[in-house]
Amino acid sequence: MGRTPSTLRTAGATTLAAAALALAPLATSTAASPSPDSANATAAAECLTPPGNQNAAAKGTRAPDHEPMSAEDVDRVEARTGKLLAQKRTQGYFVPQGALASATIPVYVHVMMSASGAGDVSNAQIAEQISVLNKNFDGKESPHAADTGFTFRLAGIDRFRNDEWHKDRHSTSYRALTRKGGMNALNIWLVDFDYLGIATFPWSGNPFIDGVRVHWNSLPGGGIANYNLGETATHEVGHWLGLYHTFQGGCTTKNDQVADTPAQSSPTNGCPEGRDSCTLPGIDPIHNYMDYSFDSCYNQFTDGQSRRMSDMWVAYRA
């Protein structure tokens, strides 16, 4: 698939448009026609997801890189989450009707720079990234945005000089070696790879590699045009808290399992106001952090997404 980082930075927008259009029907059919063998069902996503990242979700400019999850996989996750929530309730942990889990999440940032120091982002840039996360999860970018109830607190920064890790190679071992905190802790590894970011879902099942990997140049003030306001991290943390893409499931009534995000047939590129890719009610949620729009277009999570993240938090991370 060999898109080089320089291609990613210089030709991102045009390529994304082409890739999104080219792959959209594939992605839709993957979700709409589940195969009994999930490996087959997810073949379309395979080349987009690095090995060892089953259940991971990625955002990149090369393609829509949907999560490798069939409609059946999604159903299984919903059922399991429901059971875990019921268990927590019997253990006395529940969130009152209409309220949210409202947690403060410790954040460990791992700067995986090259041997020569490429990707050595400053503490100030990391602080700015945390502040973008807080602004986004507090609903401060739009009057239509939900306050999700989640707050992020920088708990530590560590720095490694390693060309392999910098390029996201041996990611399972480097994550296991460097990860900090419990399932409630957000680990962010800053690397240089073909993606903007990749996340593990709450239900991914391997606590040693739990967290998000984000392209170091997507941080606020970074060098990736249209994706350098720090909102890639917001998108990946949305996955980490159990959100799907707004285009998950395509033009279906359940689509991303969130009722107040209108169905969308494929990822959005740029910021096409009024885009309406499904005949189902509502225009496409192009301003939602879980679409693929430009950072400057992103401005909201919804109430339904907040509810889902709160449930996921209680089920898997609290």
Binding site for Ca ion (CB under 5 A): 255-256, 258, 261, 276, 278, 282
Q: Which is nearer to Zn ion, 59 or 287 (CB)?
A: 59
Tokens for 37, please give them: 């063998």
Nearest approach, Cβ of residue 36 and Ca ion (Å)? 26
Per DSSP, the three-state class of 195 is strand
- Asked whether the beta carbons of 70 and 41 are under 8 A apart, the reply is yes
Q: Name, in order, each residue with C-beta under 8 angstroms of 102's C-beta and a sequence gap of 6 or more.
A: 149, 150, 310
- Closest chain position to Zn ion (CB): 59
To Ca ion, the closest distance from the beta carbon of 183 in angstroms equals 26
Task: Label residue 44 exposed, middle or buried (CB < 10 Å: 0-12, 13-18, 19+).
Answer: buried
Query: Annotated catalytic residue: which of 67, 164, 236, 273?
Result: 236
212 interacts with, out of Zn ion, Ca ion, none, CB within 5 to 8 A per kind: none
Q: Are 134 and 152 in contact (CB under 8 A)?
A: yes
Tokens standing for 129?
């990234």
Cβ 242 vs Cβ 312: under 8 Å: yes
Picked from Ca ion, Zn ion, none, the partner binding residue 148 (CB below 5 to 8 A depending on kind) is none
Contact 54, 40 (CB under 8 A): no
Instruction: Tell the smallest beta-carbon distance from residue 282 to Zn ion (Å).
Output: 21
Q: Which residues bind Zn ion (CB under 5 A)?
A: 57, 59
- 57 vs 286, beta carbon nearer Zn ion: 57
Query: Which of Zn ion, Ca ion, none has residue 59 at its interface (CB below 5 to 8 Å by kind)?
Result: Zn ion
Taking the least distance from each CB to Zn ion, the nearer of 68 and 139 is 68
The one-letter amino acid at 214? V
Closest residue by beta carbon to Ca ion = 261
The listed partner (Ca ion, Zn ion, none) that binds 258, CB under 5 to 8 Å by sort, is Ca ion
Give the shortest CB-248-to-Zn ion separation in angstroms: 9
Nearer to Zn ion, 212 or 314 (CB): 212
Which residue number, 113 or 217, has a Cβ lying nearer to Zn ion? 217
Which C-beta is closer to Zn ion: that of 166 or that of 213?
A: 213
Q: What is the DSSP string of 200-251?
A: E-TTSS-TTS-SEEEEGGGSTT-SSTTS-SSHHHHHHHHHHTTPPPTTTTSS
* Nearest distance in Å: CB 249, Ca ion: 8
Residue 52 binds which of Zn ion, Ca ion, none (CB < 5-8 A, kind-dependent): none
Long-range pairs for 310-313 at CB < 8 Å and ≥24 separation? 310/95, 310/100, 310/101, 310/102, 310/148, 310/149, 311/81, 311/85, 311/242, 312/81, 312/202, 312/241, 312/242, 313/101, 313/103, 313/150, 313/202, 313/241, 313/242
DSSP 8-class letter at 296: T
Q: How far is the CB of 44 from Ca ion (least distance, A)?
A: 21
Indicate the helix (H) or strand (E) that contains 164: helix 163-166
Known catalytic membership, residue 231? no
Partner from Ca ion, Zn ion, none binding residue 291, C-beta < 5-8 Å depending on class = none
Which positions are catalytic? 236
